[in-house]
Structure 1
Amino acid sequence: MPETNIGFPASVMAPTITRQQKAAIIVQLLKTEGGELSLTDMTEEMQQALTLQMGAMRSVTRETVAAVVDEFIAELDGIGLSFIGGLEGALNTLDGSIDPQMAERLRREGGVKRGGDPWERVMGLEAERLLPVLEQESVEVAAVMLSKLSVSKAAELLGLLPGERARRITYAVSQTSGVTPDAVQRIGQSLATQLDSVPLLAFTDGPIERVGAILNFSPAKTRDDVLAGLDEEDETFANLVRKAIFTFANIPARIDPRDVPKITRGVDQAVLVTALAAASAVGFEESTEFILGNISKRMAEGMRDEIKELGKVKEADGEDAMSAVVAEIRELEASGEVFFVAAEEDE
């Protein structure tokens, strides 16, 4: 008596079973043979349909399995090149190879959501991007997000929040034990969509930082004229720019004395001597003494002698030398080798 397909009508053979049933057979066969298989790139609906189909099936004849496998292999052999996922797949494939602003615009216009685990995207963002979520969302949502983040990032974000808000969110974390995985996934998807919708900016730095950086390397007269003009147009903006500026005159207030030897090592001694001589001549004696007072006594004495021998420095040469010292400090600060002392707030 021939073997029948348990779970299928006796007359059903490979050519007449559904594609969903064929997919279940292939997946079951691969898992039985110990093959590596990830289905997470499939939509949730497809994963659910496959799971229900596999749950509804019992056994299949060897002939049916062989026919399904032969058909599957034939289809694979006939594929020369596969483009996966429509617009979303194209954007994911070209990620990093096309203009990110254009890609984001296409994503928004096409209504395409980013694929993959939404929490991976959320957890990969810097604290500054995530802080508004903790400030504006409900404490319950904030508590779920905080629970998903790394301990170090969660601690960093708590430190940026007002005390009362931080305490409320921290207490809400203790109430998250009953949250279902489905709810956590939905919250993650909602947050990822919200964060993805933030428009890309043409400039990574704000206007205050950009103006401050430009004025850092401008001649003192130009800098003073610009700041005077800003005072007339927008005094608040002008004051914020002043705080963003770091010039030779700011060295005593913003540099840790222990970092001075590190700074002087990166500047040619002739340039440093010129900068110190020029600084004293334009009223920055405090900066000159700060630097000389925080290097070795013998080196400081040698530089004082060189400053005397150098005499009066041309204004342009002095500006260039002081700018070179500031540029070295900026470079060390950007690489994390030097940290600016926080500027004191105006009284």
Structure 2
Amino acid sequence: MIDLAKVRAETPGCSRVAHFNNAGAALPPLAVIDAVADHLDLEAAIGGYEADEIADEASERFYDAVAGLVGAGRDEIAYVENATRAWDMAFYAIPFGSGDRILTTRSEYASNGIALLQVARNRGARVEVVPDDEHGQISLDALEAELAKGGVKLVAINHVPTHNGLVNPAEEVGRLCRAHGVLYLLDACQSVGQCPVDVEAIGCDMLSATGRKFLRGPRGTGFLYVRRSVLRTLEPPFLDLHSADWTAHDAYEVRDDARRFETWERFVAGQIGLGVAADYAVALGLDAIEERTVALAERLREGLASRAGVTVLDRGLRRSGIVTFTVAGQDPTALKLRLREVGVNVSVANVARQRFEMSQSPPAIRASVHYYNDEDEIERLLANI
């Protein structure tokens, strides 16, 4: 069980705001704040390169911490500056050819969707959208039927869509991909840090995630997991003197671990802070984090559903801490700003930007809870709608 008083005391922002924008950027704990600030202070005092040398052990801790978080080996983890770039590094490394099929979801994140379309345009691959089932998540029956047709190079899905509360059946998708020998790329941007994510149980070959959301790490940080067995089949879209060695005047050799997807220059303080955030989450327990987060989200949904004019939009058999809703007669952006004036943070989810999503749903309020929120904050949000 999570000690709520302790985690709130370790989260300075809790004394200032009721923060329900964890799907955007969560409030960091003191351990993360101090780790980043201490390294920046060290850089300011002695120089960036010199500070990096002194902090080598803390930087290296990142790989073990994140590997432990997702059930991977440290050689399967790369530090990348954000989840989109991590996803890109994996996706653009896949050797697509003309006619290769890429299967994705209707709820795919816009940045990923644009990349899918670019590869389709430039390499002749085909992007095909698997329909939802009756619960709004990816249809496993439809996915299996498409895989059985053959020619699928990649299945790329999101674990938790950014604009509604469902959790896609990632493990079942992994089982189907393994059965058909198809690469599987999972965008875990909204799931890592709010629920257990185990790459072995899921069966994904690649997974991308960010630091700033439910993991409560620094902005400008993220990571990429690549399964050891597929590492050498993926050529990074660009290389530098960190990801490869210049072995002769006309030759180079790419690293044999996931750091082939990194660049030499990086936000070192952020890398240290992200490792601390991963350790912090593991110490609390991901099962406990998910249990409390889901309970708070359900309490908020129930409170919203009881109010006249409020429509809760969340779908799925399994739901996350992301709660989306509309209020009749109220513009979501105006409501967001009004809530901010009373110390409540929410965001606006614009489903229309998800071009694979066939829904005509209007923009909605997204209130994303996390384990450090409390029941009084939920009542505060409800009272101001």
Q: Identify the TM-score tier after normalising by the shorter chain.
A: under 0.3
Q: TM-score, normalised by structure 1?
A: 0.21
Q: TM-score, normalised by structure 2?
A: 0.20
